[in-house]
Structure 1
Amino acid sequence: MVTLTSLVRVDLSYNDLSGSIPEEIGAIPRLKTLILAGNRLAGIIPLSLGTSASLRYVDLAANNLSGAIPYFQKTTSLQLLDLSANFLSGSIPASLGNVSSLNYIRLAQNNLKGSIPEALASLTNMSMLQVIGLSSNLLSGPIPSLGSLSNLSRLILGSNMLQGEDWAFLTSLTNCSQLLMLALDGNSLNGTIPSTIGNLRNLIILALSRNRFTGEIPSTLGNLSQLNQLSLDDNLLSGNIPASLGQYQRLTMLNLSVNNLDGSIPSEILNISSLSLGLDLSNNNLTGMIPPEIGKLINLGLLNVSSNKLYGEIPPELGLCVVLSSLQMEGNMLSGIIPQSLSALKAIQQMDLSENNLSGQIPEFFEDFRTIHHLNLSYNKLEGPIPTGGIFANSSNAVMLEGNMALCQRIPIFSLPICPTTSASKRKINARLLLIIAPPVIIALLSFLCVIATVMKGKTTQPSESYRETMKKVSYGDILKATNWFSLVNKISSSHTASVYIGRFEFDTDLVAIKVFHLDEQGSLHSFFTECEVLKHTRHRNLIQAITLCSTVDFENNEFKALVYEFMANGSLDMWIHSRQHQGSPRRVLSLGQRISILADVASALDYLHNQLVPPLIHCDLKPSNVLLDYDMTSRIGDFGSAKFLSSSLNSSPEGLVGASGTIGYIAPEYAMGCKISTGGDVYGFGVLLLEMLTAKRPTDKLFGNNLSLHKYVDLAFPDKINEILDPQMQNKEDEVLCNLHLQNYIIPLVEIGLMCSMESPKDRPGMRDVFAKIFAIQEAFIQTF
């Protein structure tokens, strides 16, 4: 390799490379760019990279590299160093401070320890440094003074164990006039937030959530006129919400939840017309009435004021927030009737008004809401008959009414008393029953007549419109506006082939997830067409559904392709299993019952793909991040970019072609040995997912090495010691009887299924039809008992 004297750039990113990085690579005399991100490379980082005088860009992110970061001594030209998402350990070498040319350093998502001063004390000479990304490590101690980094634009230190209440570093940051992002969330920082934070006037994102800050919110935060996101949630802050926060003109998200804030909601913060992503004031001690100025937030998507001490009536002005998709007001002392003005909230998908003192009848306008998935009106003082149409048409978990003692029903759907009837009301009920019963009968009759007519003609019927023609048409400009010009704030996730954004179209009211494909990356175009084929041929309640697609050119005449999906409000399963590793993820944890329900949903979807589709479809990348959760926690499998149909013309490649892509830890071992693609590969991935859900351990956890896998880890404990390796948040350890009941009747049978599915040999694994049947039986038994 040292003979490659003219080689300047090596880019082998996002392939399936394994093994170690050759030591000789750092000896290539003219090598400037080394990009090996997104592979399966293991071993240590070659020491030769730390002595190369020519290297400018080194990106080894998203591999399985371990060991310490090498000392950089002669790399005087290095500008970018990205070693994130590996398994690196030890401390950050102080020798990095000698690399005065560095302007981007990202070491996030590793196992780095030590205090930041030891590693960054010498970085103060690095005047070119723009980005420091050290989040999701094990760093401890205080944050050092970084004031001489005059070009610093992003300081990302979230999800570590940083401590201390000395904010001298913040005062020093006032010299960093280019600072746009300060993320200190998920640490153990304490003390009060100093007023000098208001001097960071160019900040766009300020994330201080999940720490131990006390005292009041400084009013000087209102000076940060460029802020787009402000997160102070999950601290110990007290006092009133400063009215000065109402000065923001660009803020899209304000989260002050889970603190000890008191006083009333200042009407000033309801003047922030730019708030679109959310206003969360929940889990505080706020009192008083909800100001009528709430109606000014006409672009607001999510409003959460739950678990406070608010009283008075729900302001009718709330009906002006016509794009609201989520409204949570539970756990207060609100009274009066549910205002008729809320009938304008046609985009609502989730509404929780439970545990208040609301009275009167349930408004019939709820029947007209077409997008609502979850309605909780329980534990109020509601009375009279419940509506019978729309979301009330069945007694599913979508509607919760318990705790309203004076409610009754006209049609026996819910577990409520039947309303007393007069002769006139009986006629109305019969008429409504006719409206409910007649359409299915008429449809069935018409269907039968159509079949007879078809047989008589001797030919089959054809659909009047193509799949594509029935979809909404959106342009590149529509997607550009919906994603706020592909704003980082709107980005949910990103991979080699595509990025996913949350958005809302001007002509619609629902939030959507927009997947934009990176067409300049190898494999992304194939991924787009594969997903289109899958979406065209599949229909199942536990599969993600596309709303539409966009295949066009952008404003610079470059090819552009995107898919628009339903927005899954509860994120991915990965966020719930490993919530501490996801910024902004839900604080709640999954109960045993929820885990069983999710597993049943996923198994049902796989049974459909494998056994009910012709030809069968193999997902090829089943993992928690590809299982999405709707408002009511219904699971839906997504991301079919790697999927393959078996024995079908839908494939552009021969049946069973080796080379299934996937994610390390979830890929069936036979694929690595050149075996054909089969349903057994998905069964293996499901088994790993099941064991991960019960243990909260990733298959790539640092606990597992060459001689230990997640399967072996669980198998060694099964069944007598299984309780020792379970996710401790899944069960209530205080109730020993209930805990043992869960273990014997539900957990051990589930673990046994997971172990069978993740057997090394595919012939030892069951099929998904049997797996679904067993999990469904477990789910039914759990529901009947609890």
Structure 2
Amino acid sequence: MNGQVSTQADVYSYGVLLLELFTGRRPTDDVFKDGLTLQKHVEGAFTEGAQVTGIADPSLFSDGEEEGEDNSDLVVGRHASERMTRCLESVLMVGLCCAKELPRERITIKDAVNRIETIKRLLLTTKIQSVQTTTLTFPQHKRVIGASSSPCDTALHGRVVPKQEHKQRLKRLDAIVSHPATAYRFRRDMTSYRITLRVAASESLVLSVAMELPRVLFISQYLLLCLNSLLLLCHSATVDQPSGSETDRTALLAVRAAITDDPRGIMNSWNNTLQFCQWPGVACDDPNHRERVTTLALESRSLRGVVSPSIGNLTYLGYLRLSNNNFYGGIPPEISRLARLKDFNLSYNSLSGTIPVSLSLCTNLLGIDFTGNLISGNIPARLGFLLKLLVLNLGLLDLSYNSLSGDIPPLLGRVVPLQYLVLNNNNLTGSLPNSLGNLASLIYLDLSSNSLSGSIPPSITNLSSLQVLDLSSNNLEGRIPEEIGRLTSLEFFKVSVNGLSGNVPPSLYNISSLQTLRMAYNQMSGTLAPDIGDTLSNLRLLDMASNRFVGQIPLSVANATLLRHIDLSRNNFSGRIPANLGNLPYLMQLSLGRNRLDARDALDWEFVSSLANCSLLKELRLAMNNLSGALPASVANLSTQLSTITLGRNQISGSFPSGIKNLVNLVTLAMNENLFTGSIPDFLGELADLGSLVLYGNKFSGNIPASLGNLTALNELILFDNYLEGSIPVSLGKCQGLNTLDLAGNHLSGSIPMEVFSIESLSNYLDLSSNYLNGTLPTEVGRLRNTPFLSVSDNRLSGEIPTSLGDCQVLQFLNLSNNFFQGSIPTSLSNLKGLEKLDLSSNDLSGSFPDFLAGLPFLKLLNLSFNDLDGEVPVDKIFSNSSQFSVVGNHKLCGGISSLHLPACSTHTSKKNRALILKVTLPIVVLILLFALFITCFYARKHKKHSLPDELTSDAPTKLSYLELMKATDDFSAENLIGVGSYGSVYRGVLDDGKTLVAIKVLNLVQRGAFKAFVAECEALGNIRHRNLLKILTTCASVDLRGNEFRAIVFDYIPNGSLESWLHPDTDQKLYSKRLGLLQRLDIAIHVAAALDYLHDHCETPIIHCDLKPSNVLLDGNMTARVGDFGLARHLSNATNRYLSSSSAIKGSIGYMAPGKPTKKKLFSKVCSLLMHLLGTYKRKWF
């Protein structure tokens, strides 16, 4: 039976996973050594007097309020109820029955599903029914529970409580109610006008109490116990508890211990040398409690670590400021103990998780600032109970897929004293609550960069104290409220990037305090008020771009003399540009592009002379208007600080303005698509900061100035469609920062200087087409390793095509057409794996037809027409579609698809030649065949054929290309990396539709066994569909841009990650940021078992997973478990005995893999035993 696999191996792995799910311990934890295994650890909890709750995951007994699961009916304080205990006992028993060492002793996966579903059903009922108990026997210790033929039949039954233990539980019950912690809970409940009796005991205990005590006696006893609790609380406060100062000192030391990196050594002085009130960042300022900490301020100290829960013990703390550090993990819920806390600032760290709901208990809070973190989830509505709050700043800088979501809680409108409400850069949805209008003290409201919808509520205009209102970058629509003018204190009004429409409300122009008015990228219409500059005289910034405004630009704009930025671009303004703009002494930016503004004569161009008075002007954007005539000479008088001039797509004529040379700080000069004539002046080479020179589409003539080679900062030189002549300056090779060089459509002549091809920074394109260039194409062209677009078409180039072109592996578009190239097409072009378009037409190329081009995976267009190629045209790949290639004008070609109408290839050979060929080739062919047969037989046993299974080639979804996956993952960036496994990496990606979020598993084919894992996973998931199995969307079998083999599988994206990350969070996730409740764990156990049951018993051919473990179980948005990673999966033949297995056949993960059968090879056995002992994982008889 060696080499055989079995479904019982999966049952064993499931049993181990079940035990880990409810104990929180991995089978490979260091504690399991010296013969102790996870199974024995659990078995030990069933011994006489032991408690199963003692080995359960501690997080099961925590309040689930902040994790979204209410376990209040299952938990009393920190003690498990009897129902919960019974549930844990039953589930762990199922796990033990699955994880038996011998396969025949294990239950089936179907039995496991049924039993756990029954356990969940019983848990949710009023009480667990009594059932027949049985005997359970474990190695080295026995526990009598009842009588049964099979130990695993007890998995659903509770155990009989011995009389002695019954008495002990009665004592514990009294202790629970009398303990100071319980008394504190009672006092807290009394404070909130709630008295709750929550006693969880076994069924027998509840029944005995109910039967033996009259109701009056029971109530009296309870009241006495409550009184006793209060007395014990007082006593413990005066006698048993440590002093307040010692409590604070201990808490501070715990804070220091949680800091893992202190580069400035701030915490070094937190020692016994100084009294803790003198430690840096600590203050004790309460005059009535001079040894109690009132302030903990460690902002901007470069500290790294987690926020210690012990901070909750600093009960006199009023100011907690940890901003601008590197704290990670979650915000500890223990903060809720700080009843005196006023200022809570954790801004600009790397904190994650959710905002604790219990924060609402800090009722004295005046300010909350969590800006610049990674906090997710909803904004707790209970923050509306912080009635003293003045500042609520939850604005976050970059949350990617982890932003705050949900609606803005209407309860925030209760916090009347609130002055600052900052929720920008999140993913908040819904409409703006009307209750925000109740925040009469609000000064600053920033809700920008969210996904809010609906209209702006008129109640916003009740905020008479509001100074800043920022609603930009949302999905708001409708009109701006007419009553907006009631915000008489408003200084900043920003509603850009929304869907607002209608005219600007007239009342808005009455807010004389306005300094910033941003309405860009909306659908606003109408005209601007003629007196806008008079009424809004304090304006510093006016941004009305990308709307539908019409009419003239009001002359009164120049009366708002404090204006620094004016952007009215992308509208329908017409008429003259106001000539009085020079009255704006602080003007730095003037953007009027994409309008219908006119300038025909000198009078219309007077605004240029006026702008000479604006000595701070840096940007002048006038492109895409109706400006015509000559540019006035006064352009020379413009501010020397001017860095950007854009005049493109107008009808400006005349020669190049000489005054430009005075603008020594120019970075961008765009004069494209005008009517300029004359030569390009040499003085441009003196503008040392010039980075972009765009002069295309004019009538410039003469030579390209050699002085342009002095512009070392130049990154864009676009001169196409002019009348330039002469040769290409060799000096351009010195512009090593160029990413775009376009000289096409001119009258350039001479050879192409090799220096041009030394510009390795050309990462956009190089276009020298449609000129009169001659000579050969230099071999240095192979140095363009970063250039995706290269065209030298329509010139007079000759010679052979350089083989070095094959080194340009980033090329996507190559056009050498309409030249005089000769010789054959170099085979090195087959290295251009990313090539999409290749045009070699209208040359003098000869030789055999380049059938190797069929191997270019992304080639979409191929033009080889009008050359002198010969040979047979293939009929596969790109040559199977006549719309994608052309071979017209090659009269020596034959074959090909029928639509080419080429003659059939001749097969006639003379008898003499045929005999000669046979004599020479037949022995060689025979030897080759024999050698190939030998190699095939040799490797057949070790390697499967490298092809996708039929399940994924017959009816699979449309496959994705390598480029599509590269785009979806942002070039497989580290930001999108989800995880790394044995055979590859998994990336998060967004497909071209922008909506489909997927997980992309990229195989590392260098890793031995990776391809087998790929095939196994495809075979396993190809035709199976189940809600608890990871769904495969498609595959990618291609090559990357460097020609290496590429394999990937595309799955549904599972947002909640793996079960591993929930059971064992990383240190930067904090335990309470990821927590599973009891019911969730039961559901996960059922889901996983259901998936295995489907694989084992409901597939056409049973499938064995072979590697079941928490990291291979994923949780979707509804916390539904999905089993994935079938890289080791095996198909089981119908004849296979399901109860026989061998570890030699099943490769899995240590700790989860079923034990194998004994081997006769003693040396191998000893080595394996030694290795297993060192790893400390398997704690049973090995091999």
TM-score (norm 2): 0.37
Give 2:454's match in structure 1, choosing from 15, 19, 44. Answer: 19
Give 1:111's match in structure 2, choosing from 543, 548, 552. Answer: 548
Residue in 1 that maps onto 2:964: 542
- The structure showing larger relative contact order (alpha-carbon pairs under 8 Å, at least 6 residues apart) is 2
* Structure 2 residue 837 is the aligned partner of structure 1 residue 398: yes
**Amino acid corresponding to residue 398 of structure 1 in structure 2:** K
Query: How far off its partner does 1:39 sit?
Result: 2.1
Closer, same or farther in 2 for the Cα pair 1:448/1:16, shift >3 Å? farther
Query: How far off its partner does 1:379 sit?
Result: 0.2
Following the alignment from structure 1 to structure 2, what is the Cα–Cα distance between the partners of residues 243 and 573? Answer: 48
Closer, same or farther in 2 for the Cα pair 1:393/1:369, shift >3 Å? closer
Query: How far off its partner does 1:392 sit?
Result: 6.8
* Structure 2 residue 500 is the aligned partner of structure 1 residue 61: no
Query: How far off its partner does 1:402 sit?
Result: 0.3
Closer, same or farther in 2 for the Cα pair 1:615/1:202, shift >3 Å? farther
Following the alignment from structure 2 to structure 1, what is the Cα–Cα distance between the partners of residues 751 and 488? Answer: 70
Following the alignment from structure 1 to structure 2, what is the Cα–Cα distance between the partners of residues 77 and 445? Answer: 90
Residue in 2 that maps onto 1:753: none
Following the alignment from structure 2 to structure 1, what is the Cα–Cα distance between the partners of residues 493 and 585? Answer: 23
Closer, same or farther in 2 for the Cα pair 1:81/1:647, shift >3 Å? closer
**Amino acid corresponding to residue 350 of structure 1 in structure 2:** F
Following the alignment from structure 2 to structure 1, what is the Cα–Cα distance between the partners of residues 581 and 1032? Answer: 57
Partner SS, residue 29 of structure 1 = coil
Query: How far off its partner does 1:331 sit?
Result: 0.5
Partner SS, residue 13 of structure 1 = coil
Following the alignment from structure 2 to structure 1, what is the Cα–Cα distance between the partners of residues 556 and 815? Answer: 56
Following the alignment from structure 1 to structure 2, what is the Cα–Cα distance between the partners of residues 33 and 3? Answer: 16
**Amino acid corresponding to residue 130 of structure 1 in structure 2:** R
Closer, same or farther in 2 for the Cα pair 1:451/1:40, shift >3 Å? farther
Output one character per residue of 1:695-752: Cα deviation in whole Å (capped at 9) or x when no partner.
Answer: xxxxxxxxxxxxxxxxxxxxxxxxxxxxxxxxxxxxxxxxxxxxxxxxxxxxxxxxxx
Following the alignment from structure 2 to structure 1, what is the Cα–Cα distance between the partners of residues 619 and 774? Answer: 41
> Is the 8 Å Cα contact of residues 615 and 639 (structure 2) preserved in structure 1?
yes
Output one character per residue of 1:215-237: Cα deviation in whole Å (capped at 9) or x when no partner.
Answer: 11102212211111111111111
Residue in 2 that maps onto 1:31: 466
Residue in 2 that maps onto 1:368: 807
Query: How far off its partner does 1:73 sit?
Result: 4.2
Residue in 1 that maps onto 2:1130: none
Following the alignment from structure 1 to structure 2, what is the Cα–Cα distance between the partners of residues 384 and 83? Answer: 62
Closer, same or farther in 2 for the Cα pair 1:651/1:265, shift >3 Å? farther
Following the alignment from structure 1 to structure 2, what is the Cα–Cα distance between the partners of residues 262 and 651? Answer: 69
Following the alignment from structure 2 to structure 1, what is the Cα–Cα distance between the partners of residues 738 and 474? Answer: 40
Closer, same or farther in 2 for the Cα pair 1:348/1:113, shift >3 Å? same
Closer, same or farther in 2 for the Cα pair 1:21/1:408, shift >3 Å? same
Give 1:234's match in structure 2, choosing from 673, 683, 690. Answer: 673
Partner SS, residue 542 of structure 1 = helix
Residue in 2 that maps onto 1:645: 1053
> Is the 8 Å Cα contact of residues 700 and 723 (structure 2) preserved in structure 1?
yes
Closer, same or farther in 2 for the Cα pair 1:652/1:25, shift >3 Å? farther
**Amino acid corresponding to residue 270 of structure 1 in structure 2:** G
> Is the 8 Å Cα contact of residues 147 and 176 (structure 1) preserved in structure 2?
yes
**Amino acid corresponding to residue 560 of structure 2 in structure 1:** M
Q: What is the percent sequence identity of the aligned residues?
A: 33
Following the alignment from structure 1 to structure 2, what is the Cα–Cα distance between the partners of residues 444 and 284? Answer: 65
Q: CA RMSD in A?
A: 3.9
Output one character per residue of 1:522-547: Cα deviation in whole Å (capped at 9) or x when no partner.
Answer: xxxxxxxxxxxxxxx98643240534
Give 2:614's match in structure 1, choosing from 165, 171, 176. Answer: 176
Following the alignment from structure 1 to structure 2, what is the Cα–Cα distance between the partners of residues 204 and 355? Answer: 37
**Amino acid corresponding to residue 210 of structure 1 in structure 2:** R
Following the alignment from structure 2 to structure 1, what is the Cα–Cα distance between the partners of residues 569 and 786? Answer: 36
Which one has a bigger Cα radius of gyration?
2
Structure-to-structure mapping, 1:261-410, within 5 angstroms:
261-276=700-715, 278-325=716-763, 326-391=765-830, 397-409=836-848
> Is the 8 Å Cα contact of residues 70 and 93 (structure 1) preserved in structure 2?
no
Closer, same or farther in 2 for the Cα pair 1:18/1:330, shift >3 Å? same
Query: How far off its partner does 1:360 sit?
Result: 1.0
Query: How far off its partner does 1:289 sit?
Result: 1.4
Residue in 2 that maps onto 1:615: 1031
> Is the 8 Å Cα contact of residues 179 and 202 (structure 1) preserved in structure 2?
yes
Partner SS, residue 586 of structure 2 = coil
Output one character per residue of 1:479-533: Cα deviation in whole Å (capped at 9) or x when no partner.
Answer: xxxxxxxxxxxxxxxxxxxxxxxxxxxxxxxxxxxxxxxxxxxxxxxxxxxxxxx
> Is the 8 Å Cα contact of residues 810 and 832 (structure 2) preserved in structure 1?
no
Structure-to-structure mapping, 1:437-476, within 5 angstroms:
452-453=941-942
* Structure 2 residue 581 is the aligned partner of structure 1 residue 146: yes
> Is the 8 Å Cα contact of residues 373 and 391 (structure 1) preserved in structure 2?
no
Residue in 1 that maps onto 2:627: 189
Residue in 2 that maps onto 1:93: 529
**Amino acid corresponding to residue 546 of structure 1 in structure 2:** D
**Amino acid corresponding to residue 227 of structure 1 in structure 2:** L
Output one character per residue of 1:242-275: Cα deviation in whole Å (capped at 9) or x when no partner.
Answer: 1111111111111100111111111122321110
Structure-to-structure mapping, 1:321-720, within 5 angstroms:
321-325=759-763, 326-391=765-830, 397-409=836-848, 411-413=850-852, 417-418=868-869, 452-453=941-942, 540-543=962-965, 544=967, 545-547=969-971, 549=973, 615=1031, 645=1053, 649=1057
Closer, same or farther in 2 for the Cα pair 1:76/1:653, shift >3 Å? farther
**Amino acid corresponding to residue 446 of structure 2 in structure 1:** D
Residue in 1 that maps onto 2:520: 84
Following the alignment from structure 2 to structure 1, what is the Cα–Cα distance between the partners of residues 826 and 587? Answer: 58
Closer, same or farther in 2 for the Cα pair 1:364/1:115, shift >3 Å? same
Closer, same or farther in 2 for the Cα pair 1:263/1:647, shift >3 Å? closer
Give 2:558's match in structure 1, choosing from 124, 136, 147. Answer: 124
Closer, same or farther in 2 for the Cα pair 1:115/1:644, shift >3 Å? farther
Partner SS, residue 655 of structure 2 = coil
Partner SS, residue 546 of structure 1 = coil
Residue in 2 that maps onto 1:135: 569
**Amino acid corresponding to residue 635 of structure 2 in structure 1:** I
Residue in 2 that maps onto 1:156: 591
Following the alignment from structure 2 to structure 1, what is the Cα–Cα distance between the partners of residues 1052 and 545? Answer: 34
**Amino acid corresponding to residue 385 of structure 1 in structure 2:** S
Residue in 2 that maps onto 1:756: none
Following the alignment from structure 2 to structure 1, what is the Cα–Cα distance between the partners of residues 560 and 938? Answer: 80
Following the alignment from structure 1 to structure 2, what is the Cα–Cα distance between the partners of residues 46 and 652? Answer: 51
**Amino acid corresponding to residue 96 of structure 1 in structure 2:** I
Following the alignment from structure 2 to structure 1, what is the Cα–Cα distance between the partners of residues 934 and 689? Answer: 57
Following the alignment from structure 1 to structure 2, what is the Cα–Cα distance between the partners of residues 222 and 573? Answer: 48
Residue in 1 that maps onto 2:1176: none
For structure 1, which runs of at least 5 residues remain unmatched after alignment? 421-441, 456-536, 553-562, 566-571, 575-607, 619-630, 632-639, 655-786
Following the alignment from structure 1 to structure 2, what is the Cα–Cα distance between the partners of residues 81 and 445? Answer: 81
Query: How far off its partner does 1:8 sit?
Result: 1.1
Closer, same or farther in 2 for the Cα pair 1:396/1:124, shift >3 Å? closer
For structure 2, which runs of at least 5 residues remain unmatched after alignment? 1-434, 853-863, 872-930, 945-958, 977-986, 995-1021, 1035-1040, 1042-1049, 1063-1183
> Is the 8 Å Cα contact of residues 366 and 391 (structure 1) preserved in structure 2?
no
Partner SS, residue 270 of structure 1 = helix
Following the alignment from structure 2 to structure 1, what is the Cα–Cα distance between the partners of residues 531 and 932? Answer: 76
Closer, same or farther in 2 for the Cα pair 1:181/1:52, shift >3 Å? same
Query: How far off its partner does 1:408 sit?
Result: 3.6
Output one character per residue of 1:731-776: Cα deviation in whole Å (capped at 9) or x when no partner.
Answer: xxxxxxxxxxxxxxxxxxxxxxxxxxxxxxxxxxxxxxxxxxxxxx
**Amino acid corresponding to residue 149 of structure 1 in structure 2:** L
> Is the 8 Å Cα contact of residues 14 and 38 (structure 1) preserved in structure 2?
yes
Output one character per residue of 1:90-143: Cα deviation in whole Å (capped at 9) or x when no partner.
Answer: 011234212121111111111000011x3xx11222222111111111111111
Output one character per residue of 1:309-354: Cα deviation in whole Å (capped at 9) or x when no partner.
Answer: 1111112222332222321010111111112333333322211000
> Is the 8 Å Cα contact of residues 217 and 241 (structure 1) preserved in structure 2?
yes
Partner SS, residue 963 of structure 2 = coil
Closer, same or farther in 2 for the Cα pair 1:443/1:280, shift >3 Å? farther
Output one character per residue of 1:410-456: Cα deviation in whole Å (capped at 9) or x when no partner.
Answer: 64456654479xxxxxxxxxxxxxxxxxxxxx99999998894479x
